[in-house]
Copies of this chain bind each other. A is one copy, B any other.
C-alpha cells in the first residue's frame, strides 16, 4: 500500500492529486472548477499534466479558462459544456454511448456528458430534442437507441423521458435530471423525483445537472461491455 500513498502529491497547501485513481477507478481525477478560484484550477491542472499528459476540469467559467490557458496553452475550452480539456485519454472501450436530451435547454448538461466521454476516448453519439410531449419524435429513433451499449437520457421539467425510453429499449439507462423548468420544478427536484420513481424497471439516476457523473457511470459500463481492450491499454 506504500506505493499508493507515494502517488498522492500535494499541490500548494490546498489539494492533493491522487495519481493512482485511474488505476483504481478506470478514470483519473477530474477538477470541479465550480467552487475553486481560477488560480487553484490552473495550478492543479498543471500538476496533473506533468504526470499524465491529459486533464479535464468541469463547470469552468471563461475566467477559469483564461487562467488555465495562460499556464497551459494547449488547453481547450467549450463554453456550452463548461469543460476545459488538455489532451485526451487513450481509448479503453469499443462500445457505443448515446446521449439523449429532451429539449434545447438541456444542451449544457448533455454536452458535458458528451465532452467527458469523448475525452476518455469512448464512442458517443447525440440524439437531441426528443421530449415526451411529442412521442413520435422518440419512436422514430427507437432502433438506433436499441443498438447502444449505454444510454444517457437527460430531461428537465417532469423528467419523463427516461421512463418512456426505458419502456422501449433494453440498454442500460442513466437518467440525468436537469434544473430546466420553473416554479414547482424546484431547481430540478421534480425531474429528479420523476426519474427515481420511474415505472420502467432498471433506470438509474445521477444528481441534477450532473452530466459529468453520468458520463463517468457510462464509462464504467463501457469498460465492461462489448469487445474489451487489453489491460495494458489502461491509462496511468
Please give the residue numbers on chain A whose beta carbons come within 8 Å of chain B beta carbons, in ascending order: 1, 4-5, 8, 10, 13-16, 18, 20-21, 24-27, 30, 32, 34-36, 40, 44, 59, 95, 102-105, 107, 126, 128-137, 139-140, 149-150, 157-160, 163-164, 166-174, 177, 179-210, 212-214, 216-217, 219-221, 223-226
Contacts and interface: CB of A to CB of B under 8 A. Distances in A.
A204 to B, nearest CB: 4
Given A133-B200, A150-B224, A168-B24, A184 B192 contact: yes
> Top 3 closest A-B pairs, CB basis?
A183-B208, A160-B160, A35-B105
A172 B206 CA distance: 13
17 contacts: A10-B129, A14-B107, A24-B167, A27-B201, A36-B105, A134-B167, A158-B163, A160-B194, A181-B197, A182-B208, A183-B192, A184-B196, A184-B197, A189-B193, A193-B194, A203-B213, A224-B225
Q: How many copies does the complex hold?
A: 8
Interface of A is mostly: mixed
Contacts of A5: 136-137, 140
A18 B134 contact: yes
Nearest to A140: B5
Contacts of A197: 157-159, 181, 183-185, 190-191, 207
A105 B207 contact: no
A53 B210 CA distance: 39
Nearest to A212: B201
Contacts of A136: 1, 4-5, 8, 20
